[in-house]
Amino acid sequence: DAKTTQPNSMESNEEEPVHLPCNHSTISGTDYIHWYRQLPSQGPEYVIHGLTSNVNNRMASLAIAEDRKSSTLILHRATLRDAAVYYCILRDPYSGAGSYQLTFGKGTKLSVIP
Amino acid sequence: GAVVSQHPSWVICKSGTSVKIECRSLDFQATTMFWYRQFPKQSLMLMATSNEGSKATYEQGVEKDKFLINHASLTLSTLTVTSAHPEDSSFYICSARDMAGGLLFSEQYFGPGTRLTVT
């Protein structure tokens, strides 16, 4: 499985934008880039996903490098409720029996400073 | 959005007893559910994949006779930790895949987790 590399931790001031990077230099052509986040003592929640083009939804934006070897999750205005561990995960929907599995790395712990 | 519930949210049991954890998809049908375990300050580790009507597929190193999984309906999967020991104390999280999503765009919805403490 292609692996991802994320910084262990990041800090942001409240109401400022946050850019969370993810490197995936060995990504395959059929890997989708998924982002999940996990608030303290809760299960993960889906944030966003994309393949090649940048994506926007109500929670965040996903910027994908042209060579797809890296991506950035953008929170436009961080709030205290955004403090969580953010996971960047690659998923290949064509990989057969394991195509629905998500393999979690260590993620980036985001702290939001009031 | 889709909701997955888990019951109980926390449980304390004595060593040697068995504990059952339920995972339900409340507003969608899930042919596939996943069970994860998370130790303090660590990431989620996939334990097994549960498919409705068939046997679960366990990840390497996970004892299938100790962690019994049943997925009898499209909305319910259960994980039973048999003969629990203190080292089984962990945060157990389930997730479910919405059948309607299709291959490319189906996302997993996670339950809130169950905190198991074995004394």
Q: Which of A34, A93, A107 sits opposite B43 (nearest CB)?
A: A107
**Using the beta-carbon criterion (under 8 Å), do A44 and B111 form an inter-chain contact?**
no
Q: DSSP for chain B? A: ---EEEE-SEEEE-TT--EEEEEEESSS--SEEEEEEE-TTS--EEEEEEETTS--EEPTT--TTTEEEEEEETTEEEEEE-S--GGG-EEEEEEEE-GGGHHHH--EEE---EEEEE-
Q: Which of A45, A93, A97 sits opposite B110 (nearest CB)?
A: A45
CA distance B102 to chain A (A): 10
What is the mean pLDDT of the segment spanning B60-69?
95
pLDDT greater than 60 at residue A12: yes
Selected residue with higher pLDDT from A101 and B85: B85
CA distance B103 to chain A (A): 6
CA distance A81 to chain B (A): 16
Query: What digits encode the pLDDT tens for the residues B3-36?
Result: 999 999 999 999 999 999 999 999 888 888 999 9
What is the mean pLDDT of the segment spanning A39-56?
94
